């Protein structure tokens, strides 16, 4: 389907959670037979539902518990330091943020560069739906039904050259709308980066929505990354710049605390954060006293992504 400019979305237009889960259970049982990753067409016009494509590679460990967190959980408990340090600050302060109109600058080692509006970036792609578990280094996680486009499909349109070894990203800087940027806690703009192979991997998603609606401001409207085998801080939000580079780019948390946050940030239970263990994590919404579950290498996607790091010491290169 063609991507249209974002309309204003009223709470009454959001698919009720019970209806959403009923629809997902039906599709899962009818077409995927227990697959660990749901990968189906979404956001179609009424009466124009395309057939569900074959599922993407699945993380077997996710099959037992892929029920999404509630819309309230997903939109009220966020790390987005541009709006504040507390997990509730993004929802509290993001209402004044303007996510349309939106442009993204593409530069660096590519043939097609320039500044493009939102519609040109996402292009005439079908929006896909994927249910991924998002893990954060604070040892918590949630399961989110994301809507978006494989990042590689977008990047290929800019024709990166053979010199493009990495892809760098930047978040918008608008201190008038993002009060956390006035606090001086981090050096903004927020920066992140991936190797070109990571960026092109089919599991990497350029997310434009969740739960079938456009991304709420506090979740990174209108464009953010989702890399399901990495910790959440790699999934940069509100992207305004994409740069193809020959050398490894600077990243915000690696600059701010290099002993705590590495460039790769792969989910690795054998590498503890200096201030807490990463071996287990707690699902948001399960209650403060709920039992934690084991953290799996690469978030369970090792069969699909471990080859990206062949020969790399993932303890030293964390």
What is the rounded average pLDDT for all residues in the chain?
84
In a domain, 224, yes or no: yes
Within a domain: 50:
no
The b/e string for 160-198 (b: 16+ C-beta within 10 A; e otherwise) is beeebebbbbbbbebeebbbbbeeeebebbbbbbbbbbb
Q: How many structural domains is the chain composed of?
A: 1
SS3 state of residue 263: coil
DSSP string, 9-31: --GGGSPPHHHHHHHHHHHIIII
Residues 33-65 have pLDDT tens digits of 222 333 222 222 223 333 333 344 444 444 446
CA 259, 263, 264 angle in degrees (round to 5)?
Answer: 115
The residue range of the domain holding 165 is 15-44+55-309
Q: Who wins on pLDDT, 12 or 24?
A: 24
pTM: 0.83
Residue 8 is assigned to a structural domain of this protein: no
Q: Say if residues 236 and 190 touch (Cβ distance below 8 Å).
A: yes
The answer as to whether 171 is a domain residue is yes
Residue 80 lies in a domain: yes
User: How many CA atoms are closer than 13 Å to the CA of 46, on its beta-carbon side?
Assistant: 0
- How far is 122 from 158, CA to CA, in rounded Å? 12
| CATH code: domain of residue 209 | 3.90.420.10
In a domain, residue 1? The reply is no
pLDDT tens for each residue of 212-221: 999 999 999 9
Judge whether 108 and 164 are in contact, CB under 8 Å.
yes
Query: What are the two backbone dihedrals, phi and then psi, of residue 71, each rounded to the nearest 5 degrees?
Result: -60, -40
In a domain, 297, yes or no: yes
201 lies in some domain: yes
Residue-wise pLDDT tens digits, 60-96: 444 446 789 999 999 999 999 999 999 999 999 999 9
- The more confident residue out of 74 and 184 is 74
Provide the 8-state DSSP code for 32.
Answer: I
């Amino acid at each position: 389907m063609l991507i249209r400019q974002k309309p204003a979305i009223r709470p009454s237009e959001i698919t009720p959670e019970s209806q959403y889960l009923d629809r997902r259970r039906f599709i899962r049982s009818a077409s995927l037979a227990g697959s660990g990753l749901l990968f189906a067409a979404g956001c179609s016009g009424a009466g124009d539902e395309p057939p569900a494509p074959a599922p993407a590679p699945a993380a077997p460990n996710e099959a037992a518990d892929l029920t999404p967190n509630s819309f309230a959980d997903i939109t009220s408990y966020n790390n987005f330091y541009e709006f504040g340090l507390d997990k509730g600050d993004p929802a509290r302060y993001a209402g004044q943020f303007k996510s349309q109109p939106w442009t993204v600058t593409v530069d660096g080692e590519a043939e097609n560069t320039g500044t493009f509006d939102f519609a040109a970036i996402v292009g005439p792609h079908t929006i896909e739906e994927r249910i991924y578990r998002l893990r954060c280094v604070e040892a918590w996680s949630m399961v989110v039904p994301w809507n978006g486009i494989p990042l590689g499909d977008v990047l290929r349109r800019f024709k990166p050259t053979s010199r493009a070894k990495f892809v760098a990203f930047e978040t918008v800087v608008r201190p008038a709308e993002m009060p956390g940027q006035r606090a001086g806690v981090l050096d903004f703009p927020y920066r992140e980066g991936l190797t070109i192979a990571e960026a092109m991997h089919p599991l990497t998603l350029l997310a434009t929505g969740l739960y079938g609606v456009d991304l709420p401001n506090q979740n990174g409207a209108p464009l953010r990354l989702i890399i399901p085998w990495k910790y959440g801080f790699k999934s940069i939000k509100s992207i305004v710049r994409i740069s193809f580079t020959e050398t490894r780019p600077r990243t915000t948390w690696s600059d701010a605390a290099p002993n705590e946050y590495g460039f790769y940030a792969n989910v690795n239970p054998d590498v503890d954060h200096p201030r807490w263990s990463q071996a287990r994590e707690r699902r948001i919404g399960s209650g403060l006293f709920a039992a934690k579950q084991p953290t799996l290498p690469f978030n369970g996607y090792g069969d699909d992504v471990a080859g990206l790091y062949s020969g790399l010491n993932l303890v030293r290169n964390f």
